[in-house]
Amino acid sequence: MQANFSALSPLRFLERSAAVFPDRIAIEHGSRRYTYAEFGAEAQRLAKALAARIRPGDRVAFLAPNVPETLIAHFAVPLAGGVLVALNTRLAAHEVKYILEHSEAALLFADTELLATVEGVARLGGPAAAVPVVVVPDAEVPGAHEEAAGVVREDGTGARELYADLLAGAPDGPDLPWGVDDEQSPITLNYTSGTTGRPKGVLYSHRGAYLNALGEAHHQGFDGGTRYLWTLPMFHCNGWCTPWAVTAAAGTHVCLRAVRAEAVWAALDDGVTHLCGAPTVCSIIADAEQAHPLAARGAGPLRITTAGAPPSPTIIRRLGDLGARVVHVYGLTEVYGPYTVCEYQEAWDSLDPDERAAKLSRQGVGMVQAEAARVVEVGTGGELRDVVADGETLGEIVLRGNNVMLGYYRDPEATERAFAGGWFHTGDLGVMHPDGYIQLRDRAKDIVISGGENISTIEVEQAIVSHPDVLDAAVVGMPDQRWGERPVAFVVRAGGSALTAEALSGHVRGLIAGFKVPREIHFTDELPKTSTGKTLKHELRALAAAEGAR
């Protein structure tokens, strides 16, 4: 059937860039290079191979880091009529098994360094163990090809074949059409982090991905000279739709298997212009031994887009001192990644650095492809009532528009609850400022209610990390017989620091109300986090409970 070329799909971005800029470098990964013509041809080859294996609408899972094959799959899988399921590379075998079975995946691609997880799935048995596996070796990893060849087999736990063999078996014939008949059909299926229960499958449409990618290209300022460093995992909300956004601008994707300070700074010195990541990535850049003023590299300003957790004004100021422009965005898996952006206002130029950084740490306003975000009274049922825009009144952030998910896969009840009143309920609590900018205060479940007063753990965390000897911090609430709950802090000191709890408490007390200051401060080497930089607060609550019991 002829594709409907009036339907919106981000697949068209690669078609255009390959035709208009065939010789421009599209992908860099170590010694590997792909022009846009080669990028398009590889996507077509993989799509043809897949189209011979899967049925329209089949889910195709991908367990791999930020390598060219993962990027190519963002085009090839939907081009073949499939739905891409990009898996978190840090998941345990039982978690991968759950997602493979819940998504009913027809095929699994796996990087050689993650084959131990695949073998763990096979040992657990069940339907997931029978999913055919395509082994993807990365030439930049020594011995990867030899390791891949050693596991290719068919032993009843799912066929194993090499990525190169799959491509070699692609049928000849004309290219598949770069379009879809139905722009509302699913393009990807993303699973939430599942920090409070089973992960939910979030369906993205071709239309939503197309529009969100254009929004990303606009707000991040992508163009043909863009060199985008892949620090954000491609599996996380499809890299915030950036695989499609950078391709739309015909920029260069610079792939990076793992975020390490030395490798990141080497890429920055090699002319990277843009990157995205959680505040943890920002800290890695600012705290690296290799850190130096970016003006010295002679490659123009670096633009960092950050989300995943509210960035502290302190880290924004420190990166600004290095010469990086930090732009804060806010969103969730259910809204294709970013939904709002903290748009810079020229009037902020006259503010002192701390005041300006505080403005920049807010979650901002709806992006160009989104409707305006609202902050509504909690528990207002079908009739949503906006809170007073005073920067103080707490409410729930709700969102709506083209870049909101189609729904939760195989979970109509959860979908109905999420869209009560016609808007998507984020579960995040925030305030609306008089200038129309929203600011996140906390997840509903993370607010600490002590003596009847609401304590924003984010506010307390930002006060803690403003201390120069603090690298990272997280605050959780614990039951208290007198106050109902009390805040407890977990703090990572900067290297070599001998900071004491007493000194840190004194610093924090000078910044926020006394009742918000944690009476318990636990120093730790690192905080438990998801692969996308979100702190696993349920683990910290368990740790705090254990400490209290002792």
| pLDDT tens-place values along the chain, 550 residues long | 455 668 999 999 999 999 999 999 999 999 999 999 999 999 999 999 999 999 999 999 999 999 999 999 999 999 999 999 999 898 888 889 999 999 999 999 999 999 999 999 999 999 999 999 999 999 888 888 888 877 776 665 677 899 999 999 999 999 999 989 999 999 999 998 654 457 899 999 999 999 999 999 999 999 999 999 999 999 999 999 999 999 999 999 999 999 999 999 999 999 999 999 888 788 889 989 999 999 877 767 899 999 866 667 788 888 989 999 999 899 999 999 999 999 999 999 999 988 988 898 899 999 999 988 999 998 755 689 999 999 999 899 999 999 999 999 999 999 999 999 999 999 888 999 999 999 988 776 777 867 656 687 888 898 899 899 999 999 998 887 667 678 999 999 988 899 999 999 999 988 887 878 999 999 999 998 876 677 888 788 888 877 665 5
Do both 399 and 455 map to the same domain? no
Do both 416 and 515 map to the same domain? no
What pLDDT score does 91 carry?
Answer: 85
Do both 418 and 459 map to the same domain? no
Do both 435 and 456 map to the same domain? no
What pLDDT score does 220 carry?
Answer: 96
Domain boundary among 188, 206, 224: 206
Residue entry with tokens 């007198």: 482
Q: Is residue 249 part of a domain?
A: no
End-to-end CA distance of the chain, in Å? 68
Do both 452 and 351 map to the same domain? no
Phi then psi dihedrals of residue 224, to 5 deg = -65, -20
Q: How does DSSP assign 75-140, residue by residue?
A: HHHHHTT-EEEEPPTT--HHHHHHHHHHHT-SEEEEEGGGHHHHHHHHHH-SGGGGS-EEEE--TT
- Cα separation, 53 vs 107, in Å, equals 9
Helices 115-124 and 93-103 cross at an angle (nearest 10°) of: 70
- Of 519, 524, 512, 428, residue with least CA distance to 473: 524
CA distances, 231 to each of 213, 250, 281, 340 (Å): 17, 19, 8, 20
Residue entry with tokens 């421009």: 24
Do both 327 and 465 map to the same domain? no
Q: Is residue 6 part of a domain?
A: no
Do both 374 and 468 map to the same domain? no
**What Rg value do the Cα atoms of the chain yield, rounded?**
24
Q: Which residues of 92-110 are buried (b: 16+ CB within 10 A; e: fewer)?
A: ebebbbbbbebbebbbbbb
- Of 190, 227, 207, residue with least CA distance to 99: 190
Do both 308 and 343 map to the same domain? yes
What pLDDT score does 152 carry?
Answer: 74
Residue 252 · residue 222 · CB < 8 Å:
no
Do both 195 and 313 map to the same domain? no
Element (H, E) at 430: strand 424-432
Q: Is residue 4 part of a domain?
A: no
Q: Is residue 250 part of a domain?
A: no
Q: Is residue 296 part of a domain?
A: yes
Domain boundary among 443, 464, 491: 443
Q: Is residue 227 part of a domain?
A: no
Do both 290 and 349 map to the same domain? yes
Residue 396 · residue 421 · CB < 8 Å:
no
**Domain with 430 in it: what CATH number?**
3.40.50.12780
Tens of pLDDT, residue by residue over 343-402, are 999 999 999 988 988 898 899 999 999 988 999 998 755 689 999 999 999 899 999 999
In sign, the C-alpha dihedral spanning 344, 347, 348, 349 is positive
- Of 472, 446, 468, 460, residue with least CA distance to 509: 460
- Cα separation, 489 vs 469, in Å, equals 15
In the numeric block, which tokens belong to residue 101? Answer: 């079975």
- Cα separation, 333 vs 91, in Å, equals 17
Residue 257 · residue 229 · CB < 8 Å:
no
What pLDDT score does 195 carry?
Answer: 47
Do both 164 and 53 map to the same domain? yes
What pLDDT score does 532 carry?
Answer: 63
Q: 425 in helix, strand or coil?
A: strand
Q: Number of folded domains in the chain?
A: 3
Q: Is residue 466 part of a domain?
A: yes
- Of 155, 158, 163, residue with least CA distance to 135: 163
Phi then psi dihedrals of residue 351, to 5 deg = -80, 155
Domain boundary among 411, 443, 475: 443
Residue 79 · residue 178 · CB < 8 Å:
yes
In the numeric block, which tokens belong to residue 64? Answer: 């791999």
Instruction: Determine the structural domain holding residue 296 and report its residue range.
Output: 259-443
Q: Is residue 253 part of a domain?
A: no
Tens of pLDDT, residue by residue over 2-45, are 556 689 999 999 999 999 999 999 999 999 999 999 999 999 99
Do both 426 and 537 map to the same domain? no
**Domain with 482 in it: what CATH number?**
3.30.300.30
What's the distance, CA 356 to chain centroid? 26
Residue 202 · residue 405 · CB < 8 Å:
yes
Residue entry with tokens 């722009």: 183
- Cα separation, 205 vs 184, in Å, equals 5
Q: Please work out, in degrees rounded to the nearest 5, the angle formed at the alpha carbon of residue 280 by the alpha carbons of 278 and 286.
A: 115
**Domain with 60 in it: what CATH number?**
3.40.50.980
CA-CA-CA-CA torsion for 177, 40, 72, 105, nearest 10 degrees?
A: 20
Instruction: Give residue 513's identity as a one-letter amino acid code.
Output: A
